[in-house]
């Protein structure tokens, strides 16, 4: 790996915009190109499967569930050339150093995650990873109110917008969240 420079690619946007689908698409292309791939996801994300990245659309790719960013580095195999990381916003801040280490050592690192939380504020290490990436793709979902481009994740509690002071991390899917545009995203204080 010495002497080679890798790359950091970030796929971001709101929930339901296709981040995991795009990550899986890139990983499948790398597999076709016969690259050595490792994929990681936070153990907290057990919505669909423990040992797979699974999109809301049902696409999947085998993955290793981790508790912390250091687990990626300790499990990184020497011949790996592509690393995929899903739901990076849920991984501790050390993810930034781990991703930098891999990219600096010739690995193509593809990170997918929410750029903002349900309040519309920067989420976890995603802003830093986005700033350090060579390639950033911000995807948009469809606003569930007006049908326009959605860039926000609306959390719902009993079909009403969640309060600003509610916990930031609650793992869920369409039963708790929907995509919204700026005009229809609501966060009562």
What is the set of domains in the chain, with CATH numbers? 7-139 (3.40.50.300)
Segment 40-73, tens digit of pLDDT? 999 987 766 778 898 888 889 999 999 999 999 9
Q: What are phi and psi of 38, to 5 degrees?
A: -130, 140
Share of the chain above pLDDT 90, in %: 81
pLDDT for the residue numbered 13: 98
pLDDT for the residue numbered 188: 93
**Which candidate, 35, 141, 123, places its Cα nearest to that of 84?**
35
121 tagged catalytic: no
The tokens describing 177, both together, are 């969240």
The tokens describing 36, both together, are 């050595």
Give the count of alpha carbons within 13 A of 63, CB side only: 31
pLDDT for the residue numbered 172: 67
Lowest mean pLDDT, pick from 36-40, 88-92, 114-118, 169-173 = 169-173
pLDDT for the residue numbered 173: 67
**Strand runs (DSSP E) across the chain, as ranges?**
7-13, 37-42, 52-54, 60-62, 64-66, 82-85, 108-114, 135-139, 141-142, 149-150, 152-157, 160-161, 177-180
pLDDT for the residue numbered 55: 85
pLDDT for the residue numbered 3: 53
Do strands 37-42 and 82-85 pair parallel, antiparallel, or not at all (unpaired)? parallel
pLDDT for the residue numbered 11: 98
- Do 12 and 115 meet the contact criterion of CB atoms below 8 Å apart? yes
Segment 140-186, tens digit of pLDDT? 999 999 999 999 999 999 889 999 999 888 876 667 999 999 999 99
pLDDT for the residue numbered 52: 85
Q: Which of 9, 22, 87, 178 is catalytic?
A: 87
Lowest mean pLDDT, pick from 49-63, 87-101, 102-116 = 49-63
């Amino acid at each position: 790996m010495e002497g080679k420079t890798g790359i950091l690619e970030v796929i971001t946007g709101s929930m339901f915009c296709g981040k995991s689908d795009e990550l899986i698409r890139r990983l499948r292309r790398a597999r076709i190109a016969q690259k050595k791939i490792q994929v990681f996801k936070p153990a907290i994300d057990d919505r669909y499967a423990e040992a797979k990245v699974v999109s809301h659309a049902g696409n999947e790719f085998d993955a290793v569930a981790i508790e912390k960013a250091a687990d990626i580095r300790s499990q990184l195999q020497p011949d790996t050339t592509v690393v995929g990381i899903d739901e990076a916003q849920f991984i501790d801040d050390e993810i930034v150093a781990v991703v930098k280490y891999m990219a600096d050592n010739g690995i193509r690192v593809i990170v997918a995650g929410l750029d903002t939380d349900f309040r519309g504020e920067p989420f976890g290490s995603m802003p830093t990873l986005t700033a350090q990436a060579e390639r950033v793709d911000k995807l948009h979902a469809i606003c569930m109110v007006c049908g326009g481009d959605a860039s926000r994740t609306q959390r719902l509690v009993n079909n009403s917008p969640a309060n600003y002071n509610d916990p930031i991390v609650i793992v869920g899917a369409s039963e708790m969240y929907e995509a919204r545009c700026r005009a229809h995203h609501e966060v009562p204080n």
